[in-house]
Amino acid sequence: MRLVFMGPPGAGKGTQARAVAQRCGIPHVSSGDIFRAEIDNKTPLGLKIRSYLETGELVPDPITVEAVAGRLAAADCAAGWLLDGFPRTLGQAEALDRALAAGGDKLCAVVNLEVEPEIIVRRMGGRRSCPKCGRIYHVEFIRPRVQGACDVCGAALVARQDDKPDTVRERLATYHRQTAPLVEYYERQGLLVRVDGGGTPDEVRARLFEQLKAFVGR
C-alpha cells in the first residue's frame, strides 16, 4: 500500500499517519525525518539540505525529491509506505508520480485531513514538541506519560513560537495556497480521500480507517 497524507499544520496528520502506518504494517516516512537523517549522517545530500535550512530557505524540489526517492528505495519500503509531509507542491507531486511509474508502481490513495482554521488555532495553542527527537504532544489530546517530558527520549517538551495564533493563521493561509493545486491534482486522479479532521483523535481515526477500506489492495 502506497499512501500520501496531506493536512494543514495542527490537523493531527502526523498522529493519524503513524496509526495508519502501524495498522497497515508499512513504514511511516516523514520528509522531516528524511532530512534529519541525511544531515545527521553527513551525506553529500544532507550537506546540501543543511545549507538551505541554515539560511532559512526552502529546500529546492529536485533535492527534496532525490532525498524522498532514496528513502522509498530502501528495503523496508518494498511492500509499501506512507508519505507524510511530501509532496508539498504540484512539481513534487508530478515528480513522485514519474518516479513511481518508472518502477511500475503508483499511489493507492491520498488522504486529505480537513479541519476548520479556528479549530486548528485552538489545537496548536496546546501543542508541545520535543526539541530533541521531534515527537509532538498535546496538553489535552496526546499527553506524555510523564508531564513535560518526551516519552521517547525524556527531553523537556517546549511550546513553539510558531504555534501562536497570528502565526498559525499565516501558516494556514500559506498552506492552503500551496496545496490547493495538489488537492485538485489528486482529485482528478480519483485518489483523494477527504477526511473530516474535527473531533478527538480516536473519532478521526475511526472515520479515516472506514474511508480507506475502499482503497486497500489497490
Domain that holds residue 198: 2-215
User: Which residues form the catalytic set?
Assistant: 13, 88, 127, 160, 171
**Coil, strand or helix at 194:** strand
Residue 81 host element (H or E): strand 81-84
Give backbone dihedrals phi and psi of 192, rounded to 5 degrees, phi first: -75, 130
Residue with cell 523496508: 76
Q: What is the CATH number of the domain that holds 102?
A: 3.40.50.300
Count Cβ atoms below 10 Å from residue 129 Cβ, excluding itself: 18
pTM equals 0.78
What is the distance between the alpha carbons of residues 78 and 113, in angstroms, rounded to a whole number? 26
What is the distance between the alpha carbons of residues 191 and 218, in angstroms, rounded to a whole number? 11
Each of the 218 residues of the chain gets a pLDDT tens digit; together they read 899 999 988 888 888 999 999 998 999 998 888 998 899 999 998 999 999 888 777 788 888 888 898 899 899 999 899 999 899 889 999 999 998 998 888 999 999 999 998 888 888 888 899 999 989 898 888 899 999 999 999 999 998 887 888 888 888 888 888 888 999 999 999 999 999 998 888 999 999 999 988 776 55
Number of domains, the chain: 1
Alpha-helical regions (H) of 103-215: 117-125, 165-188, 201-212
